[in-house]
Structure 1
């Protein structure tokens, strides 16, 4: 196959595009690199050098301190519990609802679809939502983080569109072979929709992992606070979770290296998981957008 030679204008355009991408990528990576390198620097170096990227002396003291910190370990454990269970609840509920709404024979299908779209445009507000959660005794429980936002309307619509785009002949063939609704869903529909499911698993995981506002509103017990609330206590207030330390103890407790190390560790789980789901990411987003 003979490749077409680029013209002068096309080459200049490609050079410009690559230059912009390199500059933009550098601007995006620079803060991340600074945080990572600072987490390995000593406190003395951070205080004496106005700015640096590569530390002169490397140390793991900040990470060792965090691993021995009970507040950090507790908040990290809470974040894992919230993320894992919340993602399972959300992706299960979203998949079941999307599959049901994709069936044209479902009675009231139009009404249910309208209700889903309506929630994307209007919400009850913070106070009514809080009163509902309180009425169902979910205050100070993880259920207050899982159930109110268990299903994302947008994700449900995209997944419903994907199920609707599957050939109806698949269902006819499965029913002709004696396949029931549950078996057809788990044996045929789910394997075909793994790209979409993997994509939304990633989205739900990131959402639950970054839970902050809902945790502050609905969780009164500091022992139940997730990792993002701990980071706020550390980075903004510079105090332990219970706020019991004196001012001098607070300054000594959370040094700049410890703060940077906490940021690195909090971002690490999602960075590790993303490569395993990346191959499904683009395909999953496009599948549900082919048919409305």
Structure 2
């Protein structure tokens, strides 16, 4: 064997062996967690879950407990000892609570539809760079996020328009959210311009592009923004407290405040409560469950769209 073959390989012109450099240390969050860390995280998540679910469990169990069980417990019921739907049957059999629930459903449905229509049209117009005055309109919308008129001017405006003691007072003052418009605008701007240009070449106008191209591609963000508006209308109580004086027009949230915080008797159930046929605590908990149930039912169906809808819209904006 030749002497050349016995020589170690050389690199470069110096004839030195290549040096082996140690890999840079990875950040701590990229390291594989230890068992103690996993156990600590699991414990924290368990405690957080119990902190959220335990109060909800107590509210539901108390609303379904008979009056004797609530009286024997002396308050909130943790362990169920019988189930009855008397409180829900009485609340939904007519009266103030049922009327308030219908008002909340109507305001939420109409308000969400109106808010989504205005927000989608505004966001689509602002996403087209060639639209008339889109830059100044965008700056005007951004200014409203930092400067507000205040409660008194807003109330005077609603009063001057004749909207007090009307359901429009529960919708129009909070109909549009600039944040939601910006999220929609960012998502619309992320749609391929070549796709829209090809539709224009084929003769499609803005309405057809919006209805047949932009909206079908934006289902994720539309689902998220719709949930935001719906939860906002369903949970709103402040507008009703300052713009409405007729108790028959109050939504469910305001009735819940009257029952839980002010300890008032609901119209139509005062006799059953005063005679001991129905527990006032069960009625209060049942109203709270009715106010929470729609949001708890709808949220899981929209949960899968949150990451795609919110993050994509925010990053691309």
- State whether TM-score is above 0.5: yes
Match of 1:204? 229
Going from structure 1 to structure 2, the CA distance change for 1:130 and 1:143 (only over 3 Å counts) comes to: same
How many matched pairs? 286
Summarize the alignment of residues 105-254 of structure 1 with structure 2, pairs less than 5 Å apart: 105-240=130-265, 249=274
Match of 2:102? 77
Q: CA–CA distance in 2 between the matches of 1:71 and 1:95?
A: 36
| Between 47-56 and 137-146, the greater mean CA deviation after superposition | 47-56
Q: Deviations over 1:85-141 (max 9, x none)?
A: 000000110010000011111232221111111111111111100111111111111
Q: CA deviation at 1:254?
A: 6.2
| Between 92-101 and 43-52, the greater mean CA deviation after superposition | 43-52
Q: Does 1:12 align with 2:36?
A: yes
Contact in 1 for aligned 2:87/2:278 (Cα 8 Å): no
Q: 1:31 aligns with which of 50, 55, 63?
A: 55
Match of 2:45? 21
Contact in 2 for aligned 1:222/1:241 (Cα 8 Å): no
Uncovered stretches (5+) of structure 2, i.e. residues with no partner: 1-30
Q: TM-score, normalised by structure 1?
A: 0.91
Higher Cα radius of gyration: 2
Going from structure 1 to structure 2, the CA distance change for 1:93 and 1:19 (only over 3 Å counts) comes to: same
Aligned residue for 2:315, secondary structure, equals coil
Question: How large is the Cα RMSD of the aligned pairs?
Answer: 2.3
Q: CA deviation at 1:69?
A: 4.0
Q: Deviations over 1:21-41 (max 9, x none)?
A: 011111111100010111111
Match of 1:3? none
Aligned residue for 1:68, secondary structure, equals coil
Uncovered stretches (5+) of structure 1, i.e. residues with no partner: 1-6
Q: TM-score, normalised by structure 2?
A: 0.84
Q: CA–CA distance in 2 between the matches of 1:208 and 1:288?
A: 23
Q: CA–CA distance in 2 between the matches of 1:37 and 1:241?
A: 21
Aligned residue for 2:236, secondary structure, equals coil
Q: CA–CA distance in 1 between the matches of 2:284 and 2:73?
A: 17
Contact in 2 for aligned 1:196/1:283 (Cα 8 Å): yes
| Between 281-290 and 220-229, the greater mean CA deviation after superposition | 281-290
Q: CA–CA distance in 2 between the matches of 1:103 and 1:8?
A: 46
Q: Deviations over 1:218-242 (max 9, x none)?
A: 1121111100011011112222467
Contact in 1 for aligned 2:108/2:233 (Cα 8 Å): yes
Q: Does 1:274 align with 2:299?
A: yes
Aligned residue for 1:288, secondary structure, equals helix
Aligned residue for 2:34, secondary structure, equals helix
Q: 1:47 aligns with which of 71, 87, 92?
A: 71
